[in-house]
Structure 1
Amino acid sequence: MADIHTQVKEAVHTTASEKSVFTELEKQRVLRKIRSGDTQSAKKSNQFVPRMVTTIAVAGFLLFIGGIIGSNLQSRNIASQSDTKAVAEKFYPNLQYGEVLNGWSLLNKGPYEGAKSEPSGLLHAVFQGEAQITGTLKYYDIDDSERPDQILFTPDKLSLQSLPVEEGRHPDLTFASNEQRKLKAVFGLGTNRMDIGEVTLVVDNYTARYIKGKTLPDTVGLKEIVLPEEPEVQSTPFHIQVNQGQKLELSAVLLDRYEQFKVTKDKQALSGLSPSEVFQLYFYAEELQDYETQYSLFIDDEEYLRVFETYEDYLTAKQQNPSTGLLEQVKAGTLFEHVIDETSASVSIEAETTGLSFGFSKNKHGIWCVNWLPIQ
């Protein structure tokens, strides 16, 4: 703009110098008119000539200024187009239509529809392909200032190798509105901000986006949500022994283990026992009201929350809420041991009208122990 001001000043000076000063011939003509007494004609001439000269000067000035401004606008437009082209060339450089990146074919690359032809204009590159990717699903609640009620997906580093992502970038991914609703329904999102790890998705189209000075998520099409397979549960029926007085009894082998554990409270005495056998020890202690031994059967690894910090707390709870009714259900019900996986198991207690599940976990030494609050 400073250059334009300088050129205008020069134009005004040049125009005034060339157009507004009388030549010697014009001076002689005016002088003759005055001497001949034609003052009225001279007066008219004096009015007409300056006006004519002024009009010529103004017209020349306007034409000159218009030329300067037009030239500058044209120069700026050319520079802007050149800058936009330079930015576009840096966005997936050397990748042309139909070429493939990480198994994805480029369909289109250029300014996004409606983008300004400026270096800060939005660019996009559209790819077609398919990939199964794993990562973290992030939900932003409705009060979030940047992404209210939106879902983003951050793929892990291995998944980036199966997406059309330029080297050095690790973008978040977003989805169309209908696909966001589907993800919310499947993963129970929509109240508070939440991150869900180890989510696997299949995506079948990809739009990379770029705008100078901003970090934008890329957009993917959601083809499938890959849910984890349900573990195969091994179920085994078993029976417990009761004597003629309907008191629960143990086999000789289990009774020996019980006596060892009662004395030592060392869980190594339970090594090698199945969940159903630990189940029988627990309810044998219930039959004898040997609550101290029963308390010692609960898992005590550090990562588990202890519902009763001490045996005294547990004893108080048992005295206030005796579980004789549960013991009778165990004696009368049909029992199944269910091994869910390497560290989780349960025993189902199935009666004619009710069904209960009693939970177990393996401790860090590989020994089956009773879960805190085991009844489910």
Structure 2
Amino acid sequence: MIPYGRQNISDDDIAAVVDVLRSEWLTQGPGIASFEQAVAAACQAQHAVAVSNATAALHIACLALDVGPGDLVWTSPNTFVASANCARYCGADVDFVDIDPQTLNISVERLAEKLALARLAGRLPKVVIPVHFSGRSCDMRAIGQLAREYGFRVIEDASHAVGASHEGVPVGACQYSDVTVFSFHPVKIITTGEGGMLLSNDPALAKRLVRLRTHGIAQGSDEMVSTPQGPWEYQQIELGFNYRMTNLQAALGQSQLARLPQFIARRRELVRQYHELLADLPIVLPQPSEESAWHLYPIRVAAERRLEVFSRLRAADVWVQVHYIPVHTQPYYRNLGFKTGDFPEAEHYFAEAFSLPLFYDLTDEEQQCVVELLREALS
């Protein structure tokens, strides 16, 4: 079987984890801070906060920006449900902004139009969560300009985009956002098994994120509301969560991070080859990008043929996948009042799309096999 995505684990990765297993630090330990510092340095950010997964990261990012009942958060409908659910966890309302049909990211034009109408209605979003779909950065400069004009905060959902860049700067530098979120799920660019990371250039925000990942407990006497009675004392000063990453995960992540350029180079090579091999087929290929991390390689076929072609590839053990069912069409969000037709570009894309296998260990021969099977399915 050829999956759509798969991790690569090296002997060095295994050795890094074994070293932790033989140490005194399995859960919390010095490896977490080391991994955070390494990610921050790689992304040119001031602060990094490791957590148990990217959903947890999105959740506490919203909390750290004081999202709560009565607030409004906007995101893309072309994403996994976590990008919207994080605001619902905080009791906030959610809305969506349709996508650009070329980049498949949130449309800056639609965002600007919607913001202008929202200002007239007196119902502007508190936070906008642009999603870097498939590893390609949204137009963050334009989104940042709109954030300054309309006064909303920005959380970059860069779960797909570890190792990507935007205008020559690493995604995660937070040039135009308050927080960036990464995912380290096994099908992503690098993995910690499960895990996530938040990056920010705001020291107060970073401190609060650290507190929220650990039950809301103050990490030092400067955060405590009263003078500690002894070195044993800890004070919970707000409601937080157990969203911590383990030392084992951090060791794997830091080892994987050392190979990030290698992972990205191979993914980009495979993408260039897909573009060449598929150029003559009756499909729509993703827009080229030399800055994308290329977590996914989504193609589009005629909607009336999507199920047939998808099924033929699956039957041949090419495990293609659809990314994503538009969030607003999920039953939970339909119950909130959303309906088919609300975001037509995202729905049109979904009706035609599926992702071809793309991962570091995909061989040229396997890629050629995928292409030949797709060619047969389309013929």
Structure-2-length-normalised TM-score:
0.17
Structure-1-length-normalised TM-score:
0.17
Greater relative contact order: 1 or 2 (C-alpha under 8 angstroms, separation 6 or more)?
Answer: 2
